[in-house]
Structure 1
Amino acid sequence: MEALKTAWHRFWKEEDGLGTLEILLIIAVLLIIAIAFRKWITKWMESLFNDASKEIKDSKNVNIDDSKLGTP
């Protein structure tokens, strides 16, 4: 029984691989959040890309007067 107790204490104090475990837990939590909010995230990303696309199209239609740019 004493050997089991000392083995358990050694195992509990062992810190090898804790950094890896923490990283895996963080990744798992991020994946769970992404899965839970995937529809909202998808709509948000589509909105961002649509807005950016609209801004690009609008900027192509703007006429710039070169005399006001200050170029010689």
Structure 2
Amino acid sequence: MKELQIKAKNLGTKITNGVKAFWNDESGMGTVEVILIIVVLIGLVIVFKKQISGIVEDIFKTIRAETREITN
């Protein structure tokens, strides 16, 4: 019985050390940060879709008008 308790305690220590190592591992933080930035940018595009579309349309109208002036 004592041997089983020792094995359980050793297993608990291994699990605890593994969880601590996983918690302190920051190697994937770059990926998480990039994903969060992309999510924020997509949200901004959704919120300001009409304004962005209007600006892009105005830019293309100006480009078309100036192109016509050059070709004429």
> Structure 1-normalised TM-score?
0.70
Measured after TM superposition, the shift of residue 13 of structure 1 is: 1.3
Structure 1 gaps, min length 5: 62-72
Structure 2 gaps, min length 5: 1-12
Measured after TM superposition, the shift of residue 17 of structure 1 is: 1.1
Identity over aligned residues, as a percent?
A: 33
Aligned length: 61
User: Which residue number corresponds to residue 69 of structure 2?
Assistant: 58
Measured after TM superposition, the shift of residue 7 of structure 1 is: 5.5
Aligned partner (choices 29, 44, 48) of residue 33 of structure 1:
44
Secondary structure in 1 aligned to 2:26?
Answer: coil
Measured after TM superposition, the shift of residue 9 of structure 1 is: 3.8
Aligned partner (choices 27, 31, 54) of residue 43 of structure 1:
54
User: Which residue number corresponds to residue 14 of structure 1?
Assistant: 25
Computed over aligned residues only, the root mean square deviation of the Cα atoms, in angstroms, reads: 2.1
> Structure 2-normalised TM-score?
0.70
